[in-house]
Structure 1
Amino acid sequence: MTLFWIITAAMIVVALAFIVPSLWRKSELRVSDRDKQNVVIARERLAELNNELAAGTLSDEEYEQTKLELEQTLLIDLEAGDEAAQAGGPGKAGMLALLFSVLFVAVVTVSAYLYLGTPQLVDPAAMQAQQADQELPSIEEMMTALVDRLKENPEDAEGWYLLGRTYMAVKDYQKAAFAFDKLNQLVSDQPSIMLALADALAMASGGDMQGRPAELIRKAVGLAPQDQTALWLAGMVEDQAGNHARALQHWGRLKPMLADDPESTQQVDRLMAAAQRKLAAAGPGEAVEQQVAAQPARQVITARITLAAELAARVKPEESLFVYARALEGPKMPLAAVRLKVSDLPTTVQLNDGQAMVPGMNLSRFDQVVVGARISRSGNAIAASGDLLGEVSPVVVKGDAVVELVIDSVIP
């Protein structure tokens, strides 16, 4: 606080440095002006004497005597002015003006700051007291307000996401799972939300990922096979389930994506080493069986996908592109699915059993399927009005089927 007032005093001195010279200069100007007036008066009086001498009203002796007195008077006045100037000061009146100016500037400056400024900022105790008065609401208060808001507007997806993340931060995993479940129902099969829900459910169960968490993670990795989080968790799910060969497959796909993250790469290496030891300990027969099961089925459907030229202007490069195969007759859930972007078009996609959304519901179980590609305007996996669609059916599931797929219609 002392430093603040020292700086304030210095600034006042700087301000006075602009005022004092002006007042001082005015005093000097007054002395100079008085000398000029005395000279003018003396000249006028001398001119009068010359006129009187010429008119004969003044004798030569009187003229000389009066002229001498005039010169002496002017000399005395000029010497007095020089003494005042050499004194180097403004005199009594000037000193009063200077003193008044100094006091006026100092008093007005400090008073104005105390009234208009924020003096408490230079007082740590006052500033801490003000901060205490303006303290932010607690996490519990903010969560209560958010819950109340969601009761009034249960369709607020962003609110449910924020509530879920907050509950995860405070380690209330049951409530976090409830919030993410509500969000998952609203946004319908978004991989990131499915993974968040699976994580919350697993944490609420003490880290057990089997059951619904496993189902959600397997579905998420099918929708987003290049998602690092999905691959990481999918490997953990399969490892917990005893499917070590499949876990190695997921982590093997993940590892090249972590080339710029040495710490994460080391963690994946440790997980893979542990899974390989478990696989070796299971015995040769079971290891071979797992490795065969982990390999993609020989039945592969290759889809070559293009977008009709007349629809190209209706889409944006960042919009989602879903490529899928579903049963011709039976459940509508995709048997295999891949998520891309419009910017990837034209593209070629291979659909196989490794992309099954639900274990056991894969291409190999059906003889004929529908192969489709849909551009989602909202990004949701569920079809909606305005989405662009292209489908081919029936497609026989055997060998290496190849499908030419054109996205050429709009869902009404």
Structure 2
Amino acid sequence: MTLLITVIAVLLAAVSALLFFPWAGRPAVDRDTLNRAFYHSRLRELEEEKIPGRDEMVVELQQSLLADIPEQLPAKHRPFGRLALLPGVILLAAVSIGAFIKTSSLSHVLEWQQVTQQTPALIQRVMDPDAKPLTMEEMARLGLGLRTRLQDDPQNAEGWMMLGRIGMVLNNASTATAAFERAWRLAPDNLDAKLDYAEVLTRSSDAEDNQQGEKLLREVLSQQHTNIRALGLLAFSAFEQQRYKEAIGAWQIMLRLLPADDERRAVIMRSIAQAKVESGMDNAKVAVKITLSPQAEKALPEKGIVFVSVTDGVSAVPVAAKKLPLGHFPLTLTLDDTNAMMPDRLLSSVRQGIIKVHISQAGTPAPQTGDWTGQSALIQFNASTPVEVEVSQPQP
């Protein structure tokens, strides 16, 4: 800004000098002076030539000079002084400065300089959990200051992440998306950067953005199966795209992971209920009645874990599973979508399958020597009719 003002001042001085220049020469020669000069020059020529009839020519020259004299001499005007141009210079400066102030957004530039000076203090307040929260205006100022800093330090992934979060607070989707994308590309292995970028993509109105966001979320879940934030974002995206079963599955897994006293459970349960209403589906249930063969009853350990799983009859990977401590038999229980193993593969999506029961002495899902197992045939599920499974096979 200082350099710009200096350049403007130099240019104004140069223009003022050009304004004075035409008046810097000698004053103009009047007509009488020119006639006298011409008369004396001609006399000198006549004296040098020594031609006959010189006297007559001198008289004639004098008569011509007298004839050229006007009857009334014009009044001499005093030429203007240079100070008379001073108002023009002042007017030029005023117009130039006014045009600069009007078109240069000087107030915005001064405000920007003030914001850049406040940025360190605002960042400190954001990082301090005990500090007073920033107002929306202060958030906007911090965003402007961060953009200025990132121009000088474009490789600062943490700075881009902070700018993206400010964009979300200010409901500026374009700023948030661009900032989070930059942070993710600078630090592709940073889990927070990937989740931040995935969040703005899943909230976008563009279908391609949604697909890319879900791809990033599945990459996170492939590394961390119990990441609550990734599950929540995936459930939100599925719900928005009317994939209600997948959304319910993700929320059900979250319910299993969250502590019983977590405040988010109530919100998740309301979301599940809303998804069921929107989809028009009932919570599918499979009732199972477990009995023991005489041999299994005699060999039953005092302590153990009962594992009950449901497969679709095609893949050995369970669709749903449930475990409970060993108790009295016959034992009746139910499985539903809350027992699903994956959010995009719910029990309500399966119409037939096989029920498997495993009584483990060591409490591990994989059968070991001394454990007892049993399974049903491939049957059609009917919530009103329990599926009977007899545990009769010892594990060698």
Flag the structure with higher helix content.
1
For the aligned pair, the TM-score class normalised by the smaller chain equals 0.3 to 0.5
Alignment TM-score, normalising by the size of structure 2: 0.36
Larger RCO: 1 or 2 (CA < 8 Å, sep 6+) = 1
Alignment TM-score, normalising by the size of structure 1: 0.35
